[in-house]
C-alpha cells in the first residue's frame, strides 16, 4: 500500500515499544490509528503523546489472547473510523517459565493473538475492496533456536510460518503481508509478567543463578542496548509501502540463521545420499 494518507490502521501492543513506534509512523504518514493494548494507563499516555501531532488517533483496551476482545476492539475501530486497511498484530510477551500455564499464556498472546487479528480483520479488508496490509510481529527467534526450548521461540516460529502461508494465499489480491523479525530492541518485553492475566497463574520466580535466570538476565541486558523502536517502525513502514514479506532489522544475526539452514541442507544431502 503506497497510499496511506486518509486510511486507517489498527495496532496491538500499541502502548509502548514497537507498537507505539508503529502507531507513530503510521500517524505521521497521515493514517487514522486505533491503538489497542491491555495496559490501560500506558495506553492513555500513548494516545496523548500522539495527539500532539495526529488528531485522528483513538485507543481501545484489548486482550489479544481473547478472540471476543479483539472483535470488540475491531468494532470500536469501525465505529471511530469506518474501514480499516492496515493491521499490525504486534502484541507479544516473553518469558514466563516452563509450566503449562506459562506456555499457554505465551502461545495465546504471541500466536493466537496474531491469528485472532487475522481472523477478525481479513474478511473486513477483503469486503471493502480498497486493499490493505497485515503486519505480524515475529522475531529473529522465529528463525533460529539459540534461545533453546521455550515458548517464546516456538510462538515466533509459528508466526513466521503463518505469515509466509498467508502471503501465498493473498498473493493474487491487493492485500499485502509483512512478517517483522527484529533482534534486540529497546522495549519492555522483558517485563511482560506485569500484564499476565490471573487465569494463567502467577509469574514464576526464576533463580538468578539458574540457567534460565542467567538467560533472562542476559536478554534484559541486550534489550537495554538494543535498537531504537523508531528504526524498527521506519523499516516496517517502508515494507508496507513496498509490499515486502520480510523485515529483518538486525542483519548481524545472519550467521545464526545460516547455521540453521546449513544444518538443514546437510541433513537433506545426507538423505539424498542414502
Give long-range contacts, CB 8 A cutoff, 24+ apart: 257-262: 257/140, 257/143, 257/144, 259/144, 260/143, 260/144, 260/145
For the segment 50-67, the average pLDDT, to the nearest whole number, is 96
- Note whether residue 3 is domain-resident: no
| Domains of the chain: total | 1
- Note whether residue 2 is domain-resident: no
177 - beta bridge partners?
A: 134
Range of the domain at 155: 8-273
- Alpha-carbon distance of 96 to 139, in angstroms, equals 17
222 touches 182 (CB < 8 A): no
Which candidate in 78, 152, 157, 246 is catalytic?
152
pLDDT number for residue 75: 98
Name the CA dihedral angle for 181, 187, 188, 189, rounded to a multiple of 10 degrees.
10
Q: In what order do the strands lie in the sheet with 86-89?
A: 57-61, 32-37, 8-12, 86-89, 132-137, 175-181, 246-248
CATH code of the domain in which 104 resides:
3.40.50.720
| Helical (H) or strand (E) element with 88 | strand 86-89
For the segment 176-183, the average pLDDT, to the nearest whole number, is 97
256 touches 144 (CB < 8 A): yes
pLDDT in tens, 90-104: 999 987 678 899 999
235 touches 197 (CB < 8 A): no
Tally Cβ neighbours within 10 Å of residue 209.
7
- Alpha-carbon distance of 10 to 90, in angstroms, equals 10
- Note whether residue 94 is domain-resident: yes
Instruction: Please say if the pLDDT value at position 225 is more than 90.
Output: no
Whole-prediction pTM value?
A: 0.94
Share of the chain above pLDDT 70, in %: 94
25 touches 237 (CB < 8 A): yes
Question: Among this protein's residues, is 184 annotated catalytic?
Answer: no
For the segment 108-136, the average pLDDT, to the nearest whole number, is 98
For the segment 8-14, the average pLDDT, to the nearest whole number, is 98
Both ends of the chain: CA-CA distance in Å?
A: 48
37 - beta bridge partners?
A: 61
- Note whether residue 193 is domain-resident: yes
- Note whether residue 215 is domain-resident: yes
Distant-in-sequence, close-in-space partners of 256: CB < 8 Å, separation ≥ 6:
140, 144, 146
69 touches 113 (CB < 8 A): no
Q: Give the pairing type, strands 32-37 and 8-12.
A: parallel
Q: What is the CA radius of gyration of the chain?
A: 19
Q: In the structure, what pLDDT confidence band is assigned to residue 48 with cuts at 50, 70 and 90?
A: very high
144 touches 189 (CB < 8 A): no
Running DSSP on this structure, what letter comes out for residue 16?
S
246 touches 179 (CB < 8 A): yes
Amino acid at each position: 500500500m503506497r497510499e496511506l494518507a486518509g486510511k486507517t490502521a489498527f495496532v496491538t501492543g500499541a502502548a509502548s515499544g514497537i507498537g507505539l513506534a508503529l502507531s507513530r509512523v503510521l500517524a505521521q504518514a497521515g493514517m487514522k490509528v486505533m491503538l489497542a493494548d491491555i495496559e490501560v494507563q500506558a495506553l492513555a499516555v500513548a494516545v496523548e503523546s500522539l495527539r500532539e501531532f495526529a488528531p485522528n488517533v483513538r485507543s481501545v483496551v484489548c486482550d489479544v489472547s481473547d478472540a471476543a476482545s479483539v472483535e470488540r476492539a475491531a468494532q470500536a475501530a469501525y465505529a471511530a473510523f469506518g474501514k480499516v486497511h492496515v493491521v499490525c498484530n504486534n502484541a507479544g510477551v516473553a518469558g514466563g517459565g516452563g509450566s503449562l500455564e506459562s506456555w499457554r499464556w505465551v502461545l495465546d498472546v504471541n500466536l493466537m493473538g496474531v491469528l485472532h487479528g487475522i481472523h477478525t480483520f481479513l474478511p473486513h479488508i477483503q469486503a471493502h475492496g480498497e486493499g490493505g496490509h497485515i503486519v505480524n510481529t515475529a522475531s529473529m527467534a522465529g528463525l533460529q533456536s539459540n534461545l533453546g526450548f521455550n515458548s517464546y521461540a516456538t510462538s515466533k516460529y509459528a508466526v513466521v510460518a503463518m505469515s509466509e502461508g498467508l502471503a501465498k494465499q493473498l498473493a493474487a489480491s491487493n492485500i499485502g503481508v509483512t512478517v517483522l523479525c527484529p533482534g534486540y530492541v529497546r522495549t519492555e518485553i522483558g517485563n511482560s509478567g506485569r500484564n499476565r492475566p490471573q487465569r494463567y497463574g502467577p509469574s514464576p520466580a526464576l533463580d538468578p543463578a539458574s540457567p534460565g535466570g542467567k538467560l533472562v538476565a542476559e536478554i534484559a541486558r541486550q534489550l537495554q542496548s538494543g535498537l531504537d523502536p523508531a528504526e524498527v517502525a521506519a523499516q516496517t513502514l517502508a515494507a508496507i509501502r513496498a509490499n515486502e514479506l520480510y523485515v529483518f532489522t538486525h542483519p548481524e544475526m545472519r550467521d545464526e540463521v545460516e547455521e540453521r539452514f546449513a544444518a538443514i541442507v546437510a541433513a537433506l544431502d545426507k538423505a539424498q545420499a542414502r
